[in-house]
Structure 1
Amino acid sequence: MTSMADMVDSWGAHPAQFWLRGRAPEAPVVFDAQAGIWCVYGYEEVQHVLANPATYSSNTQRVVPQEMLEGADQFREGNLIQMDALEHKKLRGLISHAFNPKVVADLEPRIAELTHELLDALPAGDRMELVEDLAYPLPVIVIAELLGVPSADRDKFRQWGTALLEATQEFSFTDPSDAQRQQLQDAMRQVAKLSDYMREHVLDRRKNPRDDLITKLVQAEVDGEHLTDNEVVNFSHILLIAGHITTTMLLGNSILCLDSHPEWFARVRADRGLIPAAIEESLRYLSPFAGTARATTTAVELGGEHIPADSILVTFLGVANRSPKHFPDPDVFDPTRDPNPHMAFGRGAHFCIGAPLARLEGKVALNILLDRHPHLRTDPDRPPRFLPSLSMTGVRELPLVL
């Protein structure tokens, strides 16, 4: 039988994602001198960092050299990802109702309808490319409809979002190369295009309100004051990018895990009640966002290391999710794992607000795929291609035979 490590290498997973190859980290906390960051690998240490925002701030831009952030000032207002404490709580509260269990559950018929439409649109034949044909467009259409922007513009969203994600993957905070600086500036120009696009919709909603999230943000008040245009624009484009990429990776990773474990694929085909558990285990096994960044506000002791104030840490969720203390046989894919306290959606105040929606989209899409194509499998002539990313784990191409 082919080992998991061999399969991971054949998929083209990032060479630095050693945890996918069954290798244990050196220690719970390690300093990467080349990148200038502290890597937090231990489960307890990751959990501690995410649960203590006063010490480990989400505002990492505060400690990044300003020359590296040229042109980024306009993207700070309303950036939920970079906020802490009360400011974050207030802004997150504005949209929390849009992702509560009842609202998300009510989206199930629309998610099913879209899944069928996308599968109906496939060209005749016995093959499909999962990401291009379903895993990317489905969540993008759902979040675009919630925001109130045309889902037909999804190719633009993909171009703008991909540029930003790829530019921030491997960056040295101690000695960035000219190529890294240039890539980051190119990404800022792409994000500016997304912001300009969103601004048109924000200005339109101020004149012509609709029943959508952008209108709700435009009309919302925080401490008696309306959000500025920049706050609504940046908040909206983060929702658009973050609102689809997790589901895209979740669906692709779930199918990849099942296909790589035929005994489990057979059981899931026979008992669809196993799909939610299979999705949860794939989230642990191939965590979509494998790393998240924080910045220390004071000097701390963590994992036996002294970390100075104003240091950047990356909490590696993908490593923590393979802790043998918390997950027996962590390198084994086992949907019956119970409990399964993975941190694929984070922990604490920044726990992924779209997690219920991502889980529902994955469950509905996988059920319909297996209804319509019960014998689907990966294409032996066209191997999957992983994202070229250290902090994200997911396929960017997954050819299937139907």
Structure 2
Amino acid sequence: MNVLNRRQALQRALLNGKNKQDAYHPFPWYELMRKDAPVSFDEENQVWSVFLYDDVKKVVGDKELFSSYMPQQTSSIGNSIINMDPPKHTKIRSVVNKAFTPRVMKQWEPRIQEITDELIQKCQGRSEFDLVHDFSYPLPVIVISELLGVPSAHMDQFKAWSDLLVSTPKDKSEEAEKAFLEERDKCEEELAAFFAGIIEEKRNKPAQDIISILVEAEETGEKLSGEELIPFCTLLLVVGNETTTNLISNAMYSILETPGVYEELRSHPELMPQAVEEALRFRAPAPVLRRIAKRDTKIGGHLIKEGDMVLAFVASANRDEAKFDRPHMFDIRRHPNPHIAFGHGIHFCLGAPLARLEANIALTSLISAFPHMECVSITPIENSVIYGLKSFRVKM
């Protein structure tokens, strides 16, 4: 199967799954698959799907058996470290890790709090607002813009690029797939040109931001090239935007739908880190990851052959009854909580510390600022690879 056909098969397989589930409540479908077909094969698209915790963790984390590499990727995200294997992955990850140390994250904490407070202030005095539009969307975009060293004036353009890069074709028709790929390729070109200019600027005039850190970073005498930096900047833009926005929105929805939790967190803000971890388990922003088998192997008694594509449903694994007690209950005191919302193994999400920091600050500040909050309405994101809300209206 060539690269284009493989990509189209993946999109169709994801659409097949999406068509069988409610956009914001796919959990009954996951439960059904865990019971009836925990390892299933899509004959039409030649794609495997796995749903149990141990199987998903193995597929996602075993670098000897499963690869993240997709040959001849054309997209910048496709060429980023999430789709690399060692040794190239090891080299680039060791460099970019320098931008996400606890010390670097600690330095950004006051600024994240400041941005959070400014956004909350704009919402105060209103009887109702859209938590996504007014808070959980602008916060991560402003933060990631400043972290990268990009003027926040580009925020709306960043959001448009980011949304397009994680979108999927409208349907399974060839026309829809062709239009989608053309639009995405144009977006990739615009982003590459944009970041190339920013990177050159930072080489000449470094500042206190992540791109400057990466430009200056050296590992075993090697610096990252522009060809390596641009895909990573694109990845960081998308992950730092989409994942954190949806983490905050999903967490607040889970808090509000569970009686007594909002009040408990207001009285005991020290529980927020556990609440964030439970939100990651309960409503993972990235519900599915893709891998390719490096050699013949067995999962759940099924032979997966070398070269086969596998979809690992992280959101299903995080509700596996064999791993979690009362998995369908949102329990902010859950311990232990070995969720794999950020992946597992060498591809564990690099931006996890930043996402956790933003979510903890955002949710603690929101609950502190508003004595009462309730959900008015939600509009789910219609996307098979991103799980979250397009709109989330709340009233005070």
Normalising by structure 1, report the TM-score: 0.87
Q: Does 1:49 align with 2:59?
A: yes
> Which letter does structure 2 place at the counterpart of 1:295?
I
Show the counterpart of 1:385. Answer: 379
CA contact (8 A) 1:75 1:230 kept: no
Among 199, 208, 215, the residue aligned to 1:202: 199
Runs of 5+ consecutive residues of structure 1 not aligned to the other structure: 1-11
How many angstroms apart in 1 are the aligned matches of 2:29 and 2:123?
33
Q: What is residue 17 of structure 2 aligned with on the other side?
A: none
The match for 1:31 is: 41
Give the percent of matched residue pairs that are identical in Structure 1 and Structure 2: 34
> Deviations for 1:292-338, whole angstroms, at most 9, x for unmatched residues?
11111212211111112111111100000011111112112212221
Counterparts of 2:271 and 2:76 in 1: how far apart (Å)? 45
SS of 1:293 mapped into structure 2: strand
Match runs of 1:33-182 below 5 Å: 33-59=43-69, 61-62=70-71, 72=74, 79-122=80-123, 125-167=126-168, 177-182=174-179
1:144 counterpart letter in structure 2: S
Partner of 2:3: none
Does the Cα contact within 8 Å between 2:285 and 2:387 map onto a contact in 1?
Answer: yes
What is the distance in 1 between the residues matched to 2:176 and 2:356? 37
In the alignment, is residue 349 of structure 1 matched against residue 346 of structure 2? yes
The code of the aligned residue for 1:152 comes to A
Which residue, 306, 316, 325 being the options, matches 1:328?
A: 325
CA distance in 2, matches of 1:388, 1:27: 24
Change (3 A) 1:170 1:331: farther
Q: Is contact 1:19–1:318 with CA below 8 Å preserved after alignment?
A: no
Give the C-alpha shift of residue 125 in structure 1.
Answer: 2.2
Cα offset, 1:73, TM superposition = 6.4
* Distance of 1:384 and 1:22 partners within structure 2: 23
Query: Which stretch of the first structure deviates more once superposed, 25-34 or 235-244?
Result: 25-34
Q: Matches of 1:260 and 1:143 in 2, distance apart?
A: 29
Q: Answer whether contact 1:253 1:282 (CA < 8 A) is retained.
A: yes
1:271 to 239, 243, 268: 268
Distance in 2 between the 1:103 and 1:394 partners?
A: 28
Matched, 1:394 2:395: no
Q: Which moved more, 1:142-151 or 1:219-228?
A: 219-228
* 1: CA distance, partners of 2:384 / 2:283: 12
Task: Kindly indicate whether the alpha-carbon contact (under 8 Å) linking 1:167 and 1:184 is maintained by their aligned counterparts in 2.
Answer: no
How far the C-alpha of 1:156 sits from its partner, in A, is 0.6
Structure 1 residues 300 and 178: alpha-carbon distance in aligned structure 2, compared to 1, 3 A threshold: farther
Aligned-partner residue type, residue 58 of structure 1 = S
Contact 1:290/1:391 (<8 A) preserved: yes
Task: Rate the CA distance shift 1:208–1:244 in 2: closer, same or farther, 3 A.
Answer: same
- Report the CA distance between 1:278 and its aligned residue: 1.6
The match for 1:17 is: 26
Q: Distance in 1 between matches of 2:114 and 2:394?
A: 21
Is 122-131 or 33-42 further displaced after alignment? 122-131
Amino acid at match of 2:261: W
Distance (whole Å) between structure 1 residues aligned to residue 101 and residue 309 of structure 2: 32
1-structure distance, mates of 2:280, 2:270? 17
Shift of 1:76: 5.6
Q: Which amino acid aligns with 2:54?
A: E
The one-letter code matched in structure 2 to 1:47 is K
Residues in 2 aligned to 1:18 and 1:168: alpha-carbon distance in whole angstroms: 23
Is 1:318–2:324 an aligned residue pair? no
Normalised to the residue count of structure 2, the TM-score between the two structures is 0.88
Contact 1:13 1:388 (C-alpha < 8 Å) held by counterparts: no
Deviation, 1:146, is 1.5
Indicate if the aligned counterparts of 1:22 and 1:331 stay in contact, CA closer than 8 A.
no
What is the CA distance between 1:169 and its match in structure 2? 9.2
C-alpha RMSD of matched pairs (Å): 2.3
**Secondary structure at 1:384's aligned position in 2?**
strand
C-alpha change, 1:345 and 1:205, in structure 2 (3 Å) is same
Which sits farther off after the overlay, 205-214 or 152-161? Answer: 205-214
Go from structure 1 to structure 2 and tell me whether the alpha carbon gap of 1:109 and 1:209 turns closer, same or farther (over 3 Å shift). Answer: closer
Count of residue correspondences: 375
8 Å CA contact 2:314–2:341 kept in 1: the answer is yes
Q: Distance in 1 between matches of 2:277 and 2:97?
A: 22
Q: Check the 8 A contact 2:68/2:85 in 1, yes or no.
A: yes
State the Cα deviation string for residues 62-102 of structure 1 (Å, max 9, x = none).
2xxx7xx6xx267665x111111121121111121322223
SS at the partner of 2:322? coil
For residues 254-293 of structure 1, what are the alpha-carbon distances to aligned partners after superposition, in whole Å with 9 as ceiling and x for unaligned? 1100111122222222221222222211111111111011
Letter in 2 for 1:307: I
Cα deviation digits, residues 31-63 of structure 1 (max 9, x gap):
12234311111111111112211321011x22x
Shift of 1:221: 3.7
Amino acid at match of 2:365: I
Q: 1:372 corresponds to which residue?
A: 369
Is this contact kept in 2: 1:297–1:310, CA < 8 A?
A: yes
The 8 Å contact of residues 162 and 241 in structure 2, kept in 1 or not, is answered as: no
Compute the displacement of 1:109 (Å): 1.4
1:158-213 deviation digits (Å, cap 9, x = unpaired): 11111121127987xxxx73312321221121122111111111122232232322
Q: State the one-letter code of the partner of 1:226.
A: K
Structure 2 partner of 1:7:
none
